[in-house]
Structure 1
């Protein structure tokens, strides 16, 4: 069974049709490296004093995830971008975000390897 719940397949297929598979592969690699930086930034901004930076970091990653069609990562970021919670609650969200992102990257990579 091909599980692609994380992906906006119409968007991604459109990218392949218009830009070519090689460009989409580069997009994925760029997103993977950049998302690690975004997650580190989000992780570094959990304190109440850094709420504005939390929102900015989530917002940046939300845009990146949306632009490469990662539906569940984008949805998670929409949900947490403006939350005002304790550091421990935010840490739980970061763990969930990181797991979703890893799953999405894997699905994207697997889907891309089969795309033409």
Structure 2
């Protein structure tokens, strides 16, 4: 996957100008930990069929993804955050989101190793 499709490179390159590469790696590591928790919480919201929790956790990961420069993940969350679709459809959104998130993390890690 091409980095420009997954990542907000202008944001990340701005980070690189201001921060040490080790700090950017720490930011990504923190995002990985947090996104795992948010994705689990979204799954719990689906199981409980809790619309408020769905929106709340989608909103949290949306902000985290934007701050980390994961543009495709952010865009997916913009689309699904306020979704009132049936729960099986939301479960499908979560599967896609989880895959997109992992792809973006992999691309970001590759980008970091190329720096």
TM-score interval, normalised by the smaller of the two chains: over 0.9
Please name the residue that 1:53 is paired with. Answer: 53
Please list, as runs of the form range in 1=range in 2, the aligned pairs for 1:1-116 lying within 5 A after superposition: 3-4=2-3, 5-46=5-46, 49-115=49-115
Cα distance between partner residues in 2 of 1:83 and 1:30 = 27
Stretches (4+) displaced over 4 A = none
Query: Aligned pair count?
Result: 114
**Unmatched 5+ stretches in structure 2:** none
**Would you say the 8 A contact 2:38–2:61 is kept in 1?**
yes
Cα distance between partner residues in 2 of 1:89 and 1:11 = 32
Q: Which has the higher helix share?
A: 2
Cα distance between partner residues in 2 of 1:49 and 1:18 = 43
**Unmatched 5+ stretches in structure 1:** none
**Would you say the 8 A contact 1:42–1:54 is kept in 2?**
yes
Residue 93 of structure 1: CA displacement?
A: 0.2
**Would you say the 8 A contact 2:49–2:87 is kept in 1?**
no
Cα distance between partner residues in 2 of 1:49 and 1:39 = 15
Cα distance between partner residues in 1 of 2:108 and 2:21 = 12
Cα distance between partner residues in 1 of 2:93 and 2:59 = 15
**Would you say the 8 A contact 1:48–1:86 is kept in 2?**
no
